[in-house]
Amino acid sequence: MISLQNVTKTYRNGVTALEDVSIEIEKGEFVFVVGPSGSGKSTTLRLLLREEEPTSGEVYVAGKNVVRLSTLGGIPKLRRNIGCVFQDFKLLQDKTVFENVSFALEVIGKPKHVIDGRVPEILDYVGLGEKLNNYPDELSGGEQQRVSIARACVNRPLVLLADEPTGNLDPNTSVDIMRLLDKVNKIGTTVVMATHDQAIVDAMRKRVIELDKGKIVRDQSRGVYS
């Protein structure tokens, strides 16, 4: 599903974020990418989304070489297959829960009947079936993150990328969010999650890829944080 082959990424300011990194992730896997700040976790996710291009090496997502994709059609199509969740939720404050999720379908041109079918369904799935018409500032942090997960999953992506999804949440809420991500993973979505959260990594016992200064120092199935 995801393949990084000898990927090196050096930013224009000369910082090398990744150095000769190779990762293979199968369809349906749940993978933690851990490591200290600046170790290259976020860069890895940005490469998969084709927000960055590798300086050298190849990046494949769902069988496509993402470097060769065109800005016109290829990259948007890639991103429709990838859901994204962030630490800061990235919700639109002037839109309701329903509108935040439907926005993701509207802007890729899905017809209204599809939107009206899928949005309540996915919001029900993440446990927010009762809060369709609330605004983000009326929700708790955990609920806001659920909205963002619903938005990431409403188009049924092959891959879900999560960048510190529990970074703003208290431990109990974090556990709930991890249960939800696990549930999303169980229905076949490949999940790649970058995190600092030791307790969660240790509790989940999933594959762990540890980065340090842009290099893989550990790749362990059913691993713990360190």
* CB-based burial, 37-62: b 16+ in 10 Å, e otherwise: eebbbbbbbbbbbbebebeebebbbb
Q: How far is the CB of 69 from other proteins (least distance, A)?
A: 9
The one among 62, 75, 203, 224 contacting other proteins by CB under 8 A: 75
Span 29-58, contacts to other proteins by CB under 8 A = 49-50
The one among 104, 128, 181, 191 contacting other proteins by CB under 8 A: 104
Cβ-based nearer residue to other proteins, 13 or 71: 71
Count the alpha carbons within 13 Å of 86 in the hemisphere toward its beta carbon.
Answer: 7
Going through the chain in order, the beta strands assigned E by DSSP cover: 2-10, 16-25, 30-34, 56-61, 64-65, 82-86, 159-163, 190-195, 207-212, 215-220
Name the DSSP class of 133.
T
Question: How many beta carbons lie within 10 A of that of residue 26, not counting itself?
Answer: 11
Residue 156, token pair as written in the block = 């049924």
Q: Pick the piece of the chain touching other proteins (CB under 8 A) from 9-17, 76-84, 164-172, 182-190.
A: 76-84
Q: How far is the CB of 180 from other proteins (least distance, A)?
A: 19
Contact 1/25 with Cβ under 8 angstroms? yes
Cβ-based nearer residue to other proteins, 104 or 192: 104
The one among 107, 113, 172, 222 contacting other proteins by CB under 8 A: 107
CA distances from 30 to 52, 84, 104, 160, 162 (A): 23, 15, 24, 10, 11
Residue 135, token pair as written in the block = 């605004």
| By the rule CB under 8 A, 118 interacts with other proteins | no
Cβ-based nearer residue to other proteins, 151 or 206: 151
Residue 112, H or E segment? helix 112-125
Q: Pick the piece of the chain touching other proteins (CB under 8 A) from 101-109, 173-181, 187-195, 208-216.
A: 101-109
Cβ-based nearer residue to other proteins, 106 or 124: 106
Site string for other proteins, 81-100 (x = CB under 8 A): x--x-----x-x--------
Rounded to whole angstroms, the Cα distance separating 40 from 121 reads 36
| By the rule CB under 8 A, 114 interacts with other proteins | no
Q: Which residues bind other proteins (CB under 8 A)?
A: 49-50, 71-73, 75-81, 84, 90, 92, 103-104, 107-109, 151, 155
